[in-house]
Amino acid sequence: MKKKHGKLYLVMQFAMILLFALFLRKFVLTPVEVVGSSMEPTYHESDRLWQTSLIKPKRFDTATFPSPRDGKRIVKRIVGMPGDTIRMENDQLYINDKKYAEPYLDEFKAALEDDMPLTTDFTLANSAAGPATVVPDGKYFVLGDNRRKADDSRYFGFVDEENIIGVVYFRYYPLNKIGVQ
């Protein structure tokens, strides 16, 4: 004979499932909506992303953190890690005096209709991160992919490691761009 579970058992099961779902949403995968055009062409206004705080940020990851301007959550690309020197010269990124390709910008650069670089020349010392010449321990140097319009470390300085909310893991909207980032 099949044993029937009481209403209390069902309520407890539902509560456990709900707590597990809330835990996942808070600590494992958190939704983020892209605001603005500073990360184009990678992300566009109203794109929906999942971020996770379980992944330690690496170079060229896209990460979220509170804007130093207004505290709202923003998405930028981590370019400089602690100990790095960063400079941009003739639209070419140099990290520790080594050239780095930025393939995520190729399509955007090709579509530019003027002869101006996507990214103007800079060094850490002549950015808002200055007078530092090296990314300090516990800090990151971030750039928006739409370098002409992005408010990023060139203008607000370094981002503290403890302020990184999460690393973008997955895009779930728009549907034609779903995928692991």
Strand pairing partners for 142? 78
| Marked catalytic residue, from 2, 76, 127, 149 | 76
Cβ of 42: how many Cβ atoms within 10 Å?
A: 21
- Give the alpha-carbon dihedral of 160, 30, 106, 130, to 10 degrees: -10
34, 171 Cβ separation under 8 angstroms: no
Decide: helix, strand or coil at residue 143: strand
| Marked catalytic residue, from 2, 3, 26, 38 | 38
118, 158 Cβ separation under 8 angstroms: no
Run of H or E residues at 19: helix 7-23
Q: Is position 109 annotated as part of the catalytic site? A: no
Q: Is position 58 annotated as part of the catalytic site? A: no
As annotated, the active-site residues are 38, 76
